[in-house]
Structure 1
Amino acid sequence: MRNKILWSDETKIEIFGLNTKLHVWRKPGTIPTVKHGGGSIMLWGGFSVAGTRRLVRIEGKMNGAKYKEILDENLLQSLRLG
């Protein structure tokens, strides 16, 4: 039965550092700066017992309509791969 299942998931990957708060001690009067600019990307992927399927970069903000669009455009193609 599990050979017929296709899972999908999405994840956010931080380009510089982790998605957590960081506490830093600074001398009084020091101006904080950003050295690397930060940023992240969102990815959606499909996978099954047979292996990985499509991997898609998510542009813009993720919401219900965007998720449905990703499934409409990529889920069927992922099923055909396996």
Structure 2
Amino acid sequence: ALDLRLGRRFILQQDNDPKHTAKITKEWLRHNSVNVLEWLSQSPDLNPIEHLWRDLKMAVHRRSPSNLMELERSCKEEWEKLPRNRCATLVESHPRRLEAVIAAKGASTKY
């Protein structure tokens, strides 16, 4: 695993999913001095990880796991198979995503 050793030089981006906005989560983040970027709750066009989750979900679905153990194994194996440059591609496309969301005035885009 890659150890990024980010220390305090990072900003956590998360959406407003209830588990992210729960009191206990907010308290933990505050107690641990984590800098959190406020983000829209429904903004998959602007959140590259959503595309990775979709890729993983589709790959796992194709394997049709029939129980929890198979699901876990499938998730781990398919995650390892995701192309390493996928993240870079998603990050590089971010300026175009921003422009598309602005042009669509916040509505859905092709992303």
TM-score (norm: length of structure 1):
0.31
**Considering only CA atoms, is the larger Rg found in Structure 1 or Structure 2?**
1
Structure having greater relative contact order (Cα 8 Å, sep ≥ 6)? 1
TM-score (norm: length of structure 2):
0.26
